[in-house]
Chains A and B, each alone.
Chain A
Amino acid sequence: MNETKDTTSTDGVGIIQMRHVSKWYGDFQVLANCTTSVDKGEVVVICGPSGSGKSTLIKVINGLEPFQEGTITFNGISVGDRTTNLPKLRSQIGMVFQNFELFPHISIMQNIKLAQMKVLGREDNQARNRSMELLERVGLTDQRDKFPAQLSGGQQQRVAIARGLAMDPMAMLFDEPTSALDPEMINEVLDVMTELAKEGMTMMVVSHEMGFAKRVADRVIFMDQGRIVEDATKDDFFGTPRGDRAQLFLSKILHH
């Protein structure tokens, strides 16, 4: 809205560009003037206290949640524009949720095939082949005929990642992909994500796994009370002193 206050560089090649985005639930402001951009191939980790608006920040990018002020573009297309074909836009952005959200009534294979066929219009065997490739990649080919409830949390989350990748998206959004997992399953999911990052996938990851952030992030965003309080390169973020709340929060999550 207020273009003159724009100090961050958002006019670059950002595949995701967010300018002065604000969102309210009634009187409650969830996002306050958030501006950031993510370049192609960049991995951005978002952290911050509970209720700070991390999930909401992710959800406005693919239009799962509407926002009232500001602009968001994905690959040059305006997300908030009423004329934008949102389903088509969303099919180009993979999304992985905290609770996996696999469809419980259909098999693993069908979970990965469904949107390929209904959204991309792939033939059954085409979709099946692509699904098999991805299942192989996440190491779960032998689980293809099972139902989600028969898999462990870590396995379900790997399937969810495969389901997102099956759409051949230009970017992937992750909302706390490991925080619902038992500790021993966290790494199998982070490994898949690390590999994905190395291959050059553009990723926005809400996570408190600071080890993962240190290994693969290009940038780290710290949110508090709906604001992007810090948006820094990984080295700056982990290297330099910062505001009290961020420092306090960071010391908490780094200690366990």
Chain B
Amino acid sequence: MESGGFDFHIVFHSIPFLAKGMGLTLLLTVLGIAGGLVFGTVLALARLAPFKVLSFAAGTYVNFFRSMPLILVIFWFYFLVPLVLGQEIGAFQSVLIAFIMFEAAYYCEIMRAGIQSVRVGQAYAGEALGLTYPQNMRYVVLPQAFRNMIPILVSQAIVLFQDTALVYVVGLSDFLYSADIIANSENRLMEMYITVAIVYFALCSWGQFQVRNLQKKFAHE
């Protein structure tokens, strides 16, 4: 095929296809964050729990997943879990589980730092009022921990947003892979890769901007 000069027409023609890819990227990011946050918070509570077995188990989990490359975790859930379960779980489900399990290890450490950043006097105050440990966590400590951690949680979300591009290894058409398909079939590699770069750059810059805003906002309080 002839490809003299740049021709960005192809980009406009493929907007619907790219948008669909972006939809998958965002869906994976949002579900990965939500699931990772919930599971990560549970892990953080376990790590800080006064029961040695629980905190040891959670600690081992976290250290283990933080030592693994994400792509390896994706491979496991895609290739190995079906072998164990004896049935396919589908590419989307398997990468989503992989993301959640992986991200939870990082969110756990973030939440743990967040919980520890809440002044110990706050926990005393809640306990002194008669709140039980779970109530104290739920109404006093965690809301403050989350608030302190929002900027770094958002930063971590941006990293996940970029990491979702790895799903091409299991054949899912996220934003990058969709662009790649068109780039190759239309032989417009430069145009498509430049476009992809601009979109990632724009979205991540916007995210970083939000992080800075949040940091400023909390610095005032």
Contacts and interface: CB of A to CB of B under 8 A. Distances in A.
A67 interface: no
A90 B144 CA distance: 23
Contact of B129 (A59, A104, A115): A115
B144 A118 contact: no
Given A62-B128, A90-B128, A118 B135 contact: yes
Interface stretch (B24-32, B33-41, B118-126): B118-126
B140 A103 contact: yes
Contacts of A62: 128
Contacts of B124: 59, 64, 95, 97, 101
Interface string A147-184: 00100000000000001100100000000000000000
A114 B139 contact: yes
A101 B139 contact: no
Given A105-B144, A105-B147, A88 B221 contact: no
Contacts of A97: 121, 124-125
A163 B129 contact: yes
Contacts of A115: 126, 129-131
Interface in A92-130: 92-95, 97, 99, 101-106, 114-115, 118-120
B127 interface: yes
Interface residues of B, number: 19
A99 B121 contact: yes
B121 to A, nearest CB: 5
Contacts of A87: 127, 130-132
Nearest to B133: A87
B143 A105 contact: yes
A202 B221 CA distance: 36
Contact of A118 (B121, B127, B128, B131): B131
Interface in B122-166: 122, 124-132, 135, 139-140, 143-144, 147
State the 3 A-B residue pairs at the shortest beta-carbon distance, nearest first: A91-B130, A101-B125, A115-B129
Given A64-B127, A114-B139, 7 more contacts: A87-B127, A88-B130, A89-B130, A101-B121, A105-B143, A115-B130, A115-B131
Interface of B: 119, 121-122, 124-132, 135, 139-140, 143-144, 147, 221
